[in-house]
Structure 1
Amino acid sequence: MALALDNYRLLGRSGLRVSPLALGTATFGTEWGWGADRDEARKLFDRYTGLGGNFFDTASTYTNGSSERLLGEFAGTDRDKLVLATKYSTLRQPGDPNSGGTHRKSMVASVESSLRRLNTDYLDLLYVNVWDFRTPVEEILRGLDDLTRQGKVLYVAISSAPAWQVSRMQAIADLRGWSPLVALETEYSLIERTAERDLVPMAREMGLGVVPFSPLGGGVLTGKYSREDRKQAGSVVGETAGDRKSLNVALGTVTERNLAIADAVKEVASDLGRTPAQVALAWSLNAPGVTAPIIGARTSAQLEDNLGALRVELTPSQLARLDEVSGIDLGNPHGLLASDHIRTVTTGAMKIETLV
């Protein structure tokens, strides 16, 4: 069944309604060398919202602050109709150890600067971004709860953190009556499915909506990379080393395995008369537990291509083909627990149906 941006989904175990594709705004601004200038970014914003899109993803340090500034400018008087999600914890001031990290001082300062740039008095969703292994979880959770009680943040979430820490935090928040986490942002695509080991099952059990970033595998799943590109890998530091293609090559995303998956995506796309990007995004939209993959476009043409994923209907055989070529080893104990041996010693020949 075809979707649309105004076919809203609930975000995790909350009542917040969001579009099935979130618009990532790390491309708003050219400071990193591969983004969209103000006029082009405005076109992306207007097209997305014009179709009913309401879910925007940014961060305090995206394009050195231009992402939030432009998003706040574009939102204008329609701000209350939009769901603005931002993140904190990445270093905002080189040389200042407290301008990054997940601790309270970093949290409060980052939120205040985000509110100013976004020209708003509240954030719909605040992510703890990039787990730093240094701050006690109670400090993080209490700080987030304070911000929600102050009305500066409506919902809280987490990104790029170990599953055991997220589940621990959710349990502590529940026991102490603090604001629960409602979303998990994590890298998840046909070329990066390791989240299926623990992160996605944990999110589904603990009431977090999964918001995948890089659902196109850094562009590899669009089919624009070749095996010749693998020879051009160099070093990379941060987000600004050359263009996006060079960055992905340097990060090691362009591997033989990933190119083989991209080939399968192209085959399915050809059968459907669709583009590879649309097929890869459609797979993500159909993945269990996923609320809204984040799309990031630099041009209007890229945005239109991505939005076309909402109209792609993959057959069971096509889904099976994509799952097979991109499958991962679930590892211990998941492989053992799914084995015929364990099934035999725990249930024998009995058939037991799960209804919830």
Structure 2
Amino acid sequence: MSIDRYYTLGRSGLRVSRLSLGTMTFGTEWGWGADKDAARQVFDLYLDAGGNFIDTADAYTNGTSEAWLGEFIAARQARDQVVLASKFGFNLGNRNANGGGNGRKHVLKAVEGSLRRLGTDYLDVLYLHVWDQITSADEVIRTLNDLVRDGKVRHLGLSDVPAWYAARIQTLAEWRGLEPISALQLQYSLVERNLEHEYTRLAIELGMGLAVWSPLASGLLSGKYRKGDATSGRLATMQGSGNPAFQHLSERNWQIVAALEDVARQLDRPMNQVALNWVAHRPAVSSVTVGASRPEQLKSNLQALDFELPVELRQRLDEASAPPQPFPYYFFTNTMQGMLYGGATVGDKPDGYHANVLVSGSGSGVS
């Protein structure tokens, strides 16, 4: 079990593990997650396997995730080894109009808080956590660029933003010679493929690597849930919360689970490994975030890249999980596009056609 092969993050020179460690489970404040001893074991296991990309946020378990990570990294003297990413945006206080969001006042305060809890003087990657629908793209990219200029942040990312907003921020950065966005962090799994409508092409065209979260759909694709018996676990706990990120117990998704189970049986592999392998090999994906509340969960997840998913089985999963094609996206399907060329075959350009595409080699990959 080794994950010491790295992809560059977008067009940056930052090399990250193809499986990153998500630490939303570090802490028990939310009613689920890992206690400190289990979290430390998960952290050590990930580093020992060769992983280097660790993801957290100021809002995770009310700051506990960042605080514990700071302790674990210091104990291992691993700050130079790890690529440490955190996020800002959510309001951690009460009735403070500027205590959240993406405005300059909050961003600068939030980063200082993250640095303090993590016990470090810089972040390797800083993500805007969620679009706030208020702050202009201009203010966001200028503020983020200032943090890079001041040495508090090395690379920038966006998480859970509209595609047009990400494109505008990246265009402003390029136009004004500011630090570009290197990563887009978005939900992606067999049951959540909507990013394929816009973000895959966006990431490739504008040089941003996709950093995937919830690749197992909060455990649905791990095999721990069964139709008619999903009464415990995170998905069951969050079913009535109103948070769309956890609403996966649907008839469509049970059909996808059944297809995944069949493919996993043919490969003699656990369902979680097959699901992770599938998403890790999707276009533009630089890294897939895996979380765990127990070491044995992480051990299994870290073996997800130790095998090749045959073309015919990958196609089976593609077909079973294909998302609907609403307007205007059905105009971009093969059937409709063929009408543009009168039936003539128009092939894709070969790998390496563009000078700015990194051709894979030892220890690197196309992102």
Structure 2 length as normaliser, TM-score?
0.90
Pair 329,113 (structure 1): closer, same or farther in 2 beyond 3 Å:
same
Evaluate the alpha carbon distance shift between residue 66 and residue 321 of structure 1 in structure 2; reply closer, same or farther with a 3 A threshold. same
Matches within 5 A, 1:85-234: 85-229=85-229
2:318 to 302, 319, 323: 323
Cα gap change, 1:343/1:243 in structure 2, threshold over 3 Å: closer, same or farther?
Answer: closer
> Residues of 2 paired with 1:116 and 1:57: CA distance?
16
Q: Do the aligned partners of 2:58 and 2:87 also contact (CA within 8 Å) in 1?
A: yes
1:299 pairs with 2:294: yes
1:305: Cα distance to partner?
1.2
Cα distance in 2 for partners of 1:43, 1:280 equals 24
Q: 2:361 maps to what in 1?
A: none
Identical counterparts, % of pairs = 44
| Contact 1:248–1:254 (CA under 8 A) maintained in structure 2 | no
- Counterpart of 2:305 in structure 1: which amino acid? L
Matched pairs, number = 344
- 1-side partners of 2:337 and 2:209: how far apart? 30
- Residues 246, 174 of structure 1: alpha-carbon distance in 2 compared, 3 angstrom cutoff: same
> What is the match of residue 237 of structure 2?
247
AA of the residue aligned to 2:318: D
Please identify which structure carries the higher helix content.
Answer: 1
Deviation at 1:225, TM superposition (A): 1.7
Alpha-carbon distance, 1:337 to partner: 2.8
Counterparts of 1:344 and 1:170, CA distance in 2? 33
Query: Using the alignment, how far apart are the partners of 2:125 and 2:336 within structure 1?
Result: 44
Q: Distance in 1 between matches of 2:12 and 2:289?
A: 19
Provide the residue aligned with 2:58 in structure 1.
60
Deviation at 1:263, TM superposition (A): 1.1
SS in 1 for 2:107: helix
Compute the displacement of 1:203 (Å): 1.1
What corresponds to 1:239 in structure 2? none
CA contact (8 A) 1:72 1:120 kept: yes
The CA distance in 2 between the partners of 1:257 and 1:94, in whole Å, is 39
Asked if the contact 1:229–1:249 (Cα under 8 Å) also holds between the matched residues in 2, the reply is: no
RMSD between superposed Cα atoms in Å: 1.6
- The residue number in structure 1 matching 2:331 is 336
Offset of residue 229 of structure 1: 4.3
Q: Is the contact made by 1:89 and 1:101 (CA closer than 8 Å) also made in structure 2? A: yes
TM-score by length of 1: 0.93
User: Deviation per CA, 1:55-88, whole angstroms, max 9, x where unpaired?
Assistant: 0000001011010001111111211111000000
User: Which residue in 2 is equivalent to 1:263?
Assistant: 258
1:252 Cα shift?
2.6
CA distance in 1, matches of 2:328, 2:38: 48
Partner of 2:70: 72
Supply the distance in 2 between the matched residues of 1:217 and 1:131 (Cα, whole angstroms). 22
TM-aligned CA distance change 1:58 to 1:346, over 3 Å: same
Q: Which structure 2 residues correspond to residues 12-51 of structure 1 after superposition, within 5 A?
A: 12-51=10-49
Instruction: Return the alpha-carbon distance in structure 2 between the equivalents of residues 124 and 256 of structure 1.
Output: 40
* TM-superposed deviation, 1:136: 1.0
Cα 1:353–1:271 change in 2 (3 A) is closer
Paired residue for 2:268? 273
Q: Answer yes or no: is the 8 Å Cα contact 2:3–2:17 preserved in 1.
A: yes
1:222–1:262 contact (8 Å) kept in structure 2: no
Residue number in structure 1 paired with 2:341 = 346
Structure 1 residues 341 and 71, CA gap change in structure 2 (3 angstroms):
closer
Contact 1:10 1:17 in 2 (8 A): yes
Give ranges in structure 2 of 5+ residues lacking alignment: 241-245, 354-367
Kept in 2: contact 1:279–1:312 (CA 8 A):
no
Please say if residues 337 and 343 of structure 1, whose CA atoms lie closer than 8 Å, have aligned partners that are also in contact.
Answer: no
Which segments of 5 or more consecutive residues in structure 1 lack a partner in the other structure?
A: 233-241
Give distance in 1, aligned partners of 2:105 and 2:161.
20
Amino acid at match of 1:125: V
SS in structure 1 at match of 2:85? strand
Q: CA deviation at 1:351?
A: 4.3
Equivalent of 2:280 in 267, 285, 288:
285
Q: Summarize deviations over 1:267-296 as a string: whole Å, max 9, x none.
A: 111111110001100001111111111001
**What is the identity, as a one-letter code, of the residue corresponding to 2:214?**
S
What's the counterpart of residue 235 of structure 1? none
* Over 4 Å off, 4+ runs: 350-353
| Alpha-carbon separation, structure 2, partners of 1:330 and 1:22 | 30
Matched residues in 2 for 1:296 and 1:51: separation?
15
